[in-house]
Structure 1
Amino acid sequence: MLKDVLVYLEEGHNTNERIGVAAELAERFSAHLTGIAVSEPMAARAEFLPPEALEGYRRSWQVRNARLGEAFRAETDRRGLSAEWRAVEDMRLDLSVADILARHARYADLLVVGQYDPDEPHGLVPDDLAGHLAVLAGRPVLAVPYAWQPVPVGRRVVIAWNAGREAARAVADALPLLREAEVVHLAVVEGHDRRRGDHGELPGADIATHLARHGVAVEADRLVMRDVPVADALLSLTAEQGADLLVMGAYGRPRLRELVMGGTTRGVLEQMTVPVLMAH
């Protein structure tokens, strides 16, 4: 069950839509909803700024966080939700926005974030934020497209299934939504980095049986990949099915001091037009 939802907010043109998605989920599952804002890291770097400049940064982010908190409370009060607001205004120099969010997300059932918008100059959504958080936090992350309209999420679902560990984790974390869905479509991805035996004798049959035991009936479709990128095929299928949610594993590996996301994860996050639930 979803009983504790966390939504990350930063100023942008789709802030209210993201609040709406998170609030609708909290209302549907009778969950507690927490909103969180994280101040610009530069505001914490006192050694690089004169005191008056630092104070100016802090005041500007406090004002911004207050605006976000007002928008959050207006929606949660309207729906009568159990809710709280957090504004993280002081950060250690060695922590990023993702580090802070991952720490808070570990005490939630689901973290809701936005998609990176290259045309949004004021936002703090880093590229690949959702994928990074899924790996760092160990909790499922729901990424909401910047152009998304706040219709209920999870009525028509596509699951990206490649028989891997990350996909299995995503399916398990998505079960509360899958049980409530009207249609669940299983996209069995073959032909990229997986041995034929991973899927069993009948690709998709084992996970379909497992989901059926949880009361989730699925429709299966095989995606045998050769020359088309997996991300493109998944997003095309999602559009064809009229889905409002894509469930998939988040793939990433450490390289030196950074986390490098897999090509499919990055491609989906860059091009998605429906919310994506990712887990690692």
Structure 2
Amino acid sequence: MENLMTYRSLLVLLDSSPLCASRVDCAIRIAKSFEAHLVGLAPTGIVDMPVATESAASLAEYATLAWNTLRAEAAQSVEQFRQTCRAAGFQSFETQVDDESKARSLVSHAHCSDLTVLSQADPSSPGHAAMRETVEQVILYSARPTLVLPYAGRFDTVGTTAMVAWDNSREAARAVADALPFLRAAQTVHVVSWEEQRNEDGGLRPSLDALQRWLMWQGVTAEIHVERSGIPIAQAMLSRAADLSADLIVMGAYGHARWSERLLGGATRGLLDAMTAPVLMSH
């Protein structure tokens, strides 16, 4: 079993938000469970700030003060991360600070990580819109899976009971493959499909049977469920996850292009907005 895919390097966002502490705690527990290395990343976002000209002395002074504040916040987040790791008896960690925006920095570092750990944007936070965009951009542009933790609640376990949302798409297949370390460690794995989710070839039952066999060869025993629902698919997923007491939802993240932007699809965004359990997404 030693040669099976696992998570060897995890990435977690460090910032000054109230959600950082619980996010770091969860990332440490996951890293411990997989004997993985953990990288704490603190982007300052300085590169996105306006550059003052020499003639604008007051603006230059303000910019310098703002840069120093952002770097001090990053340094404080890094130090708190180090203290938390040491207090947890966790030794395999490192920290990174750069001046890129959160999204660009996370995407760049995620390419050389096995899993990125983020938090859902808190709608009551002043930075809600910016954080929501950051999470969406990381999911869409990262070459690795992203684990998003709900802003509310505490999650002492992630993946004890896993629910895979399946529609036989490329995105769903990639998400299942990316989640294999969690699925192998889970006590129970449920694969759920909804009759409204039909591919171009018709029903999903053949693909569900094929997925169940493939998971078996990966060391995962999965229960198959075919559901019928008259509510939006994001709501149906969350409702079924609650029924199953799932502490991990695995799903493909769907996006589309609009001019020069890449945007999340409605079901993916709907689940990110209303999630009540950790969600692993791959695009």
TM-score (norm 1): 0.91
**Structure 1: segments with no counterpart, 5+ residues:** none
User: How many angstroms apart in 2 are the aligned matches of 1:22 and 1:100?
Assistant: 18
Q: How does 1:65-76 map to 2 (within 5 A)?
A: 65-76=74-85
Displacement after TM superposition at 1:196 (Å): 4.8
What SS does the corresponding residue of 1:147 show, helix, strand or coil? coil
User: How many angstroms apart in 2 are the aligned matches of 1:125 and 1:275?
Assistant: 20
What SS does the corresponding residue of 1:46 show, helix, strand or coil? coil
2:202 to 197, 203, 206: 197
Structure 1 match to 2:269: 266
2:178 to 165, 173, 176: 173
Does the alignment pair 1:88 with 2:98? yes
Does the alignment pair 1:20 with 2:15? no
The amino acid of 2:137's aligned partner reads: H
Displacement after TM superposition at 1:161 (Å): 0.4
Greater mean deviation of Cα atoms: 26-35 or 80-89: 80-89
Displacement after TM superposition at 1:231 (Å): 0.3
Q: How does 1:85-234 map to 2 (within 5 A)?
A: 85-89=95-99, 91=100, 96-121=101-126, 126-192=131-197, 194-197=199-202, 199-201=204-206, 204-225=208-229, 227-234=230-237
Displacement after TM superposition at 1:62 (Å): 1.4
**Structure 2: segments with no counterpart, 5+ residues:** 1-5
Displacement after TM superposition at 1:252 (Å): 0.6
Preserved contact between residue 46 and residue 67 of structure 2 (Cα < 8 Å) = no
What SS does the corresponding residue of 2:71 show, helix, strand or coil? helix
User: How many angstroms apart in 2 are the aligned matches of 1:213 and 1:242?
Assistant: 26
Displacement after TM superposition at 1:205 (Å): 1.1
What SS does the corresponding residue of 2:202 show, helix, strand or coil? helix
- Number of residue pairs matched? 273
Does the alignment pair 1:241 with 2:251? no
Identity rate, percent: 34
The amino acid of 1:66's aligned partner reads: A
1:277 to 273, 277, 280: 280
RMSD: 2.0
Preserved contact between residue 116 and residue 146 of structure 1 (Cα < 8 Å) = yes
Preserved contact between residue 13 and residue 41 of structure 2 (Cα < 8 Å) = yes
The amino acid of 2:50's aligned partner reads: R
C-alpha spacing 1:30/1:121, structure 2 compared with 1 (3 Å): same
User: How many angstroms apart in 2 are the aligned matches of 1:10 and 1:21?
Assistant: 15
CA offsets 1:57-108 (integer angstroms, 9 cap, x no match): 111111211221122111211222311111212x3xxxx5322211110000
Displacement after TM superposition at 1:235 (Å): 0.3
User: How many angstroms apart in 2 are the aligned matches of 1:268 and 1:69?
Assistant: 30
Preserved contact between residue 28 and residue 90 of structure 2 (Cα < 8 Å) = no
User: How many angstroms apart in 2 are the aligned matches of 1:64 and 1:273?
Assistant: 29
User: How many angstroms apart in 1 are the aligned matches of 2:46 and 2:153?
Assistant: 28
